[in-house]
Amino acid sequence: MNAPYPGEIDRRLLNERSVSGRIGLQLQELDVPEQALPEPGLLRTDEARLPEVSQQEVVRYFTTLSTMNFSIDANFYPLGSCTMKYNPKVNEEMAFLPGMAGIHPHQPDETVQGALQLIWELQRDLGEITGLPGVCLGPLAGAQGEYSGLMIARAYFEERGDIGRIVALMPDSAHGTNPASASMAGLEVVTLPSDSEGNVDVEALKALADERTCVFMLTLPSTLGLFEPNILEITNIIHEAGGLVYADGANLNALLGIVKLGDLGFDIAHSNLHKTFSTPHGGGGPGAGPVLVSETLAPFLPTPVVSRDGHTYRLDAPDKSVGRVNGFHGSFGVLVRAYAYVRAIGAEGMREVSENAIINANYIRTALSDEFGIAADRACMHECVFSPQAQKAKGATALDISKRLIDYGIHPPTMYFPLIVPEALMVEPTETETKDTLDRFIAVMRQINKEISSDPDLLHDAPHDTPNTRLDEASAARKPYLRWQPEQNLTASD
């Protein structure tokens, strides 16, 4: 063992703590007579080298690890496009009710009426909020909802014999999943430029929309946090060309009770329940990415959806369903949380959510745009994108500013996205933050701006007090070290 030092965190892996003979759980004894074993050739010859640790060691290990995370519960987390809002605790309790967490996906419909009713109600509520009444809650994440939506578009055109529609148009500010999902759906990705205001270039769109257009994929508000002022003209251009309009609902937190996607001419959308509807991100999933469509497209929804007949609910396959995109009925545990959120917020509260998200973002934009430069100098929706090029000229990159924020206990904004904004820092405060928190963030950003001139190394070396300083990601990628191996030691310098 190396000499201990103050502040040291014991980072040893479980297997490096393992002592032969220790157990973490007393399992029950076999209560039936022992049965004959299968032929030895079928049996495992080696043993899985899982750890042998006591129960307290497990608890302490994971508790210690947890303290090395920033989280919404402990930190301001203005990560743009991710909607890191408060995740209500009661939702967790509801998801873990035995009657919700304990039910088996193959149980007959008549034994899970409560669960099916919850799904049905949430389908209806999301349809109402977005103005897209055809809803399948099955997709397990935004990207899967997106892929489902594109399959629906393809199936719709195929049914009409309009098979030449193989292009997915999207702005250059699109999330990476848009082109990735379009490519999975066999579509050719054609990117169109944004104008100087960060809006869709309408003339360019007119030139590109034609009989090959399957969908136009648009994030609304855009990844610059802006509402597209020409939206009705845009959806009209695509419809005139015979195509469908897809809404990436990542930024739906700006639109609750403010405007319905369906009213604007969108045909298909997905919504990330782990963003707008407050379900926890969990360190990178699980999410849920319901797909929402117009009445016309509803028969193509994935399987299953829940339908109602009188007071009876059942799992159903839509007539022309594009099929199954995952094992069962979706991230049900996530759906319970989202349902609890919708019920706690109610009709009036929806609009209040988005209004406060918009006010909070504009408050930050107004306070900091002088010093940090803003990608588009006009009212934003729920997030704003700074472009600190003046700071870069002085030697402080968006990365440096982000890492320095960590020293102040604030999670960095989304960096270097959207790709069209140099040194992008995308800030999304959400409606659940207090004005005090926003004021402190503004003060910290100004302080950091001063440090760039007074003591730039404070930024270059940041963060300082985290369990790790900046990590060597280049070495990690050059010589990937992806699992515990018995012969390797913890201390790299050994």
User: Does the protein bind other proteins through residue 71 (CB under 8 A)?
Assistant: yes
Q: How far is the CB of 193 from other proteins (least distance, A)?
A: 16
Query: Which of 240/453 has CB closer to other proteins?
Result: 240
Q: Please, which of residues 140-159 interact with other proteins by CB under 8 A?
A: 140-144, 146-147, 151, 154
Confirm or reject binding of residue 493 to other proteins (CB under 8 A). yes
Q: How far is the CB of 454 from other proteins (least distance, A)?
A: 22
Q: Does 446 bind other proteins (CB under 8 A)?
A: no
Interface residues for other proteins in 186-215 (CB under 8 A)?
A: 186-187, 189
Answer for which of 1, 31, 319, 454 binds other proteins (CB under 8 A) is 31
Told to check if 115 binds other proteins by CB under 8 A, we report yes
Q: Which of residues 377-396 bind other proteins (CB under 8 A)?
A: 379, 381
Q: Which of 209, 264, 269, 384 binds other proteins (CB under 8 A)?
A: 264
Q: In Å, what is the CA distance from 324 to each residue of 148, 156, 164, 321?
A: 9, 17, 25, 8
In terms of CB distance, is 298 or 438 closer to other proteins?
A: 438
Q: What angle do CA 450, 455, 456 make, to 5 degrees?
A: 90
Distance (Å) of CA 494 to CA 407, 449, 485, 488, 491: 29, 39, 16, 10, 6
- The Cα 395–Cα 415 span in angstroms is 16
The answer to whether 327 contacts other proteins (rule: CB under 8 A) is yes
List, edge to edge, every strand of the sheet that includes 414-415.
384-386, 425-427, 414-415
- The DSSP annotation for 196-232 comes to TTSSB-HHHHHHH-STTEEEEEEESS-TTS---TTHH
Quote the CA–CA distance of 278 and 253 in Å, as a whole number: 10
Shortest reach from residue 308's CB to other proteins, in Å? 14
Among 93-101, 200-208, 387-395, 449-457, the segment contacting other proteins (CB under 8 A): 93-101
Question: Which residues, 401 to 420, sit near other proteins by CB under 8 A?
Answer: 402-403, 406, 411-412, 416-417
Please tell me whether residue 192 adopts helix, strand or coil conformation: strand
Q: What is the rounded CA–CA span in Å between residue 152 and residue 158?
A: 10
Reduced to 3 states, what is the DSSP secondary structure of residue 386? strand
Helices (H), 131-251: 142-159, 177-184, 202-208, 231-240
Among 4, 7, 102, 310, binds other proteins (CB under 8 A): 102
Choices 25-33, 203-211, 385-393, 451-459; region in contact with other proteins by CB under 8 A: 25-33
224: which 2 tokens? Answer: 């610059």
